[in-house]
Amino acid sequence: QYRMHPELSRFPSNFFYEGSLQNGVCADERKLAKMDFPWPVVDKPMLFYVTQGQEEIAGSGTSYLNRTEASNVEKMTTRFLRCGVKPEQIGVITPYEGQRAYLVQYMQYQGTLPSKLYQGIEVASVDAFQGREKDLIIMSCVRSNEHQGIGFLNDPRRLNVALTRAKYGIIVVGNPKVLSKQQLWNHLLNFYKEQKVLVEGPLNNLKESMIQFSKPKQILNAANPGTHFMSTTVYDAREAMVPGSIYDRTGSNTTA
C-alpha cells in the first residue's frame, strides 16, 4: 500500500488482510512538516479519543447524533488548522447522516476559528469516502448507549474503509465501553491500548485512558477474523445513510 503511514496500516493489514499488506512508503515520507499536533506517541500518528457523551435520535427521526463527540471533533479540527493544516487536507467520517449534518452545522456556527475554514473540511459517510483519501481523518463513531448495541458500526467492511483513508494521521472518537462489546471493535481498542494511544482529557494534556472494556459478545473465529463479522452484524432502522450510499437503510449492499 502506498497511501498510509506504516503505523496506520498495521491493524488493517493484520486484521483484514492476514498481514499481507506491504508498505510501499516509509514513515519519513508520511510526516506533515511543522505539524505540532500532540500525538500520544510521537512516531505513531494515531489515537483513539475516549468520550462517553450520550447518543440521541436526530431531528429527522431516522438517524443518530452525539453532541459530545461533535464538540471534540471541532476541537481536533481546530487544532489541526492552527498547526497549519489546510481544510482540504482534513476529512471527517461518521456513519450517521444525523451526525454528519450536525457536525457541519456545529463547526460552522460554534467553531473557534472563522467559519469559512470549517466549510473547507469534508464531512461525509464512510461509504462516501470509499476509494478516496485525505491527509488526516477524524472518525466520529456516535453510538453510546447501554443496551441498543452499535448497529452497522459492526460492519468490518465499513471499519476497514474508515481506517484506511488517512495518509498521515487518524483519530477515532468514541465510547469504548459500548464499542468493546463487539469483537471487531474490541480488537481495535485493544490494539490502540497496546500502542498507548487510547487517550482522554484535554488536547494539550492527553493521558492514557484506564477505562475498562466490556466483554465482547461473540467468540472470534481466529482462522479468519475479518470475515467472521459479516454474518453477525445487527442493523438498526434509524441508520439511514447519506444519498449515494452503497448500502440501503437496512444495511444490505444494494449493488450486489
Q: How many angstroms separate the CA atoms of 151 and 201, rounded?
A: 27
Confidence band, pLDDT 50/70/90 cuts, at residue 209 = very high
pLDDT tens, 1-50?
Answer: 557 777 887 877 777 766 555 666 666 665 666 678 999 998 899 999 99
Q: Which CATH number fits domain 34-228: 3.40.50.300, 3.90.25.10, 3.90.550.10, 1.10.10.10?
A: 3.40.50.300
Percent of the chain at pLDDT above 90? 53
Q: Is the pLDDT of residue 169 over 60?
A: yes
pTM of the predicted structure, to 2 decimals: 0.82
Higher-pLDDT residue of 89, 244: 89
Measured CA to CA, the distance from residue 256 to residue 131 in angstroms comes to 18
Chain-centroid distance of CA 149 in Å reads 17
Residue tagged 481546530 (cell numbers)? 78
Nearest 5°: the CA angle 131, 229, 170 is 45
The answer to whether residue 238 scores a pLDDT higher than 50 is no
Question: Is 222's pLDDT higher than 50?
Answer: no
Confidence of residue 197 (pLDDT cuts 50, 70, 90): very high
Residue (of 51, 34, 69) closest to 168 by Cα position:
34
